[in-house]
Amino acid sequence: MRNRQETFYAMAKNKFNKSWMNRHLRDPYVRQAQKEKYRSRAAYKLKEIDSAHQILKSGQLVVELGISPGSWAQYAVRKLGYDTQGKVKGELIGIDMLPMENIPGVVFLLGDFTEEASLQQLLDKLGGRKVDVILSDMAPNLSGIAAVDGARMAHLLDRVLEFSRQCLKDSGAVLAKCFDGAAYNEMLVQCRAQFRSVARQKPDASREHSAEVYLLCKGLLPGAQALENE
């Protein structure tokens, strides 16, 4: 039998779940995603940024880090386009620690991007080809302590930037999630040291109370690859 404290927590949890569910069902992006058959409302974050900045184009080679459940990928393959046989033009290679249901035209790798073996698998799939666009919607596990979470996010972004120095075309673009909080300025400085342009993005579909923002980085600066060995 539950004691009073356990009953209180169970009731509070139930109330929280109900209010989350109510908000979720009222959310216009959730309804839109159901209508357009996207796996999650997150698709509209990428769609809004891409519509404003034309990042994704037909026939590109795209890598997505943290691809599951796959709504960005669904949007991205639609932008890559299809040939007359219905085959996706270009290629999207994605990696995630969580499994993902198949999306035609997407090569999926299961693994932690920050682990050497998984990164190597991704590099093997690329086989030396340079990438047009790198998308990253990854976030670290959150501790709830702003300074710790900021540092973890900065570390993850650092790995994304390192990957982009290795694999991105000089004219390519990176769209990466980061947090507007502790370490934000540090992340911005890191991106600016490597790219010609860096623009902060907070799409309408990204919840207002969330610290999540995206950095859209375009055009590797000459000498960016040399940062590799610093």
Ligand X SMILES: C[S@@+](CC[C@H](N)C(=O)[O-])C[C@H]1O[C@@H](n2cnc3c(N)ncnc32)[C@H](O)[C@@H]1O
Instruction: Check residue 40 for interaction with ligand X (CB under 6 A).
Output: yes
As measured in angstroms, the least distance from the Cβ of 110 to ligand X is: 9
* Residue 7: both structure tokens together: 């009953």
Is 218 labeled as catalytic in the residue annotation? no
CA separation, residue 41 to residues 11, 29, 37 (Å): 28, 5, 10
Q: Give the position of tokens 């357009």.
A: 36
Of 49, 88, 138, 198, which one interacts with ligand X (CB under 6 A)? 138
Q: Which residues contact 213 (CB under 8 A, 6 or more apart)?
A: 177, 178, 179, 180, 184, 200, 201, 202, 206
Q: Identify which of 94, 90, 93, 103 has the alpha carbon closest to the alpha carbon of residue 37.
A: 103
- Residue range at the interface with ligand X (CB under 6 A); choices 53-61, 67-75, 81-89, 192-200: 67-75
Amino acid making up residue 150:
G
Instruction: Check residue 96 for interaction with ligand X (CB under 6 A).
Output: yes
Of 30, 97, 193, 227, which one interacts with ligand X (CB under 6 A)? 97
Instruction: Check residue 66 for interaction with ligand X (CB under 6 A).
Output: yes
Of 70, 105, 172, 203, which one interacts with ligand X (CB under 6 A)? 70
The 3 state secondary structure assigned to 41-76 is CCHHHHHHHHHHHCCCCCCCEEEEECCCCCHHHHHH
Given the complex with ligand X, which of 32 and 221 has the nearer CB atom?
32
Binding track, positions 2-31, relative to ligand X; x by CB under 6 A: ------------------------------
Q: Side by side, which strands form the sheet with 61-65?
A: 106-110, 91-96, 61-65, 131-136, 168-179, 212-220, 195-201
Of 2, 35, 54, 98, which one interacts with ligand X (CB under 6 A)? 98
- Residue range at the interface with ligand X (CB under 6 A); choices 4-12, 40-48, 79-87, 189-197: 40-48
Give the active site residues.
Answer: 177
- Give the footprint of ligand X on this chain (CB under 6 A): 39-40, 42-43, 66, 68-72, 95-98, 112-114, 137-138
